[in-house]
Amino acid sequence: MAEQILSVVLTALFCVLMVWFWFQQRALERRIAAQKDLPRERLVPRHYQSFTDVEHKLWAATQEKGRAAVWGTMKFTPKQPEFEIVREYVCGLREDFRRAFNIYGQVIIRSPEVGIFALLEWHRVKSEFAYCRWIFLAWLRLRTVGISVNDLRELTEIVATIAYRVRSMLTTFENSGNVEFVDSVLRRS
Amino acid sequence: MELNALENLLWDLGIGLKVLLCALVFYRRLDRRLRFFSLYVVLLVAKGVAVWWAYRQWGITSHAYAYTFWSAFVVVVLARGLAVAELCRTSMAKHPAVWLIVRRALYIIGAVVLVYAAATSYTHRSPVAAFLYSTERGLDISIMVIVVALLGLGVRFEVGLGPIERDIALGIGLFSASQVVLNVFMNERMIRYYHWWTTANLVAFDLALVFWIIPLRKPLPAPTPAPELISERVAVHLLRQLLAKMREITEELKRISRSKWK
């Protein structure tokens, strides 16, 4: 009986995954169609570059209210008005990572050799793990104790690293004369 | 054990749906895009007609019916396996490295299913029936896993299947899942619930047919264009360069994080 129950549970799990992936694929198709006419600058990660501006805005807002604390560890909680700046920035980072991750995937999947594909995918998986860890912490802190500038800096570093990797990839391909290839990668990611 | 009125109705409905699906497949020219799936649909109709005829002619308990049923069953199960392999090829063959991995995985899965079926039928009283039954069970489990992997890989690498291929994959996957569950519960102790089992089986298959018919109501969307590729030699050269750069970046990051902690 235990074996039968296990089989049913596993099958149910597979069914849920199947349906979930099916919906994801539909969403992917719609997203690719929607960004067909977007300018190229909006197809690459860009929000992470505004970290210093965000930090400056937060600094100005806290100075106005005369809040005193160690800057790097000062928490921004949902009750504070400047929290909206933090929330928007984290959303932007999320979008940046998704874009960078997808562009990276689009480039490596066109690799003709399994060995190179596996090694590049391993680099991608490592970036994904680091990002997931920090985005989970950010999500948790945004809803509980609040997020600090140091947390935002850590998350920005992770996103900036993958964005730099992606930019290096695209530049390498563009410099070798494969501009159409780069365009196709950006439109599909 | 004869079929009851509900089962007869579902069976007839199933044959009607199969004929409709077959007609739509050829009307919409899906046979040019997915040859093995179209063959599978044709074989489904042929199986439905042959089994129905054998049932009316000799009854469900006759040997003639059993031979007809099992022969048709083997052909259809093989065609279903080929249809899934074709879906994998359609979506992944444009990506050489991934397709190589997927192809190897398919060969391994095929070999494992056959070895499993042979091992379970070896000591059985009727080895042929046991072999076929185990092959179908193994194939259903494999199809379920393959469809999840196919859709999942598509999401991970943003290489979505075409809309029609996606619906067909989901229909096959869900039907295989229903078969796995139904086969789990079909044993000698459950024989008194045979009619429930048959009804559930027929309903599951009719639902899969409806799932395939729905996207074929409208003309097929244009196939997804192949991704822009560069020549193999240049791609390998550039990707090696990139790999070296990734390693450099990783080393640099390690060095920075070490200096942070000093």
pLDDT digits (tens, 9 = 90+) for B116-172: 888 887 777 778 878 888 888 888 889 999 999 999 988 888 877 888 899 999 999
The pairs formed by B87-93 with CB atoms below 8 angstroms and a separation of 24 or more are: B87/B34, B87/B37, B87/B150, B87/B161, B87/B165, B87/B168, B87/B169, B87/B172, B88/B146, B88/B150, B90/B33, B90/B34, B90/B161, B90/B162, B90/B165, B91/B150, B91/B154, B91/B159, B91/B161, B91/B162, B91/B165, B92/B150, B92/B153, B92/B159
Chain B nearest C-alpha distance from A14 (Å): 7
Q: Helix %, strand %, coil % for chain A, to 5?
A: 80, 0, 15
Q: Which of residues 95-154 of A touch B (CB under 8 A)?
A: 102, 105-114, 116-117, 119-120, 123
Q: Phi and psi at residue B9, in whole multiples of 5°?
A: -65, -45
| Distance (Å) of CA A161 to CA A79, A127, A128, B249 | 32, 8, 11, 8
pLDDT tens digits, one per residue of A27-37: 988 888 888 78
pLDDT tens digits, one per residue of B87-122: 999 888 888 888 888 889 889 988 988 888 888 877
For helices B35-58 and B63-92, what crossing angle results, to 10°?
Answer: 170
Confidence of residue B19 (pLDDT cuts 50, 70, 90): very high
Q: Which of residues 1-20 of B touch A (CB under 8 A)?
A: none
Candidates B90, B105, B255, B61; CA nearest to B163 is: B90
Residue of chain A nearest B243, judged by CA positions: A120
Task: Mutate one of B95, B145, B156, B187 to test the A interface: name it (highest A CB count within 10 A).
Answer: B156
Specify the pTM.
0.83
| Distance (Å) of CA B84 to CA B78, B88, B144, B147, B173 | 10, 6, 10, 8, 9
Confidence of residue A109 (pLDDT cuts 50, 70, 90): confident
Q: Is the pLDDT of residue A70 over 90?
A: no
Q: Which of residues 47-66 of A touch B (CB under 8 A)?
A: none
A175 touches chain B (CB under 8 A): no
d(CA A150, CA A131): 15
Q: Do A28 and B156 touch (CB under 8 A)?
A: no
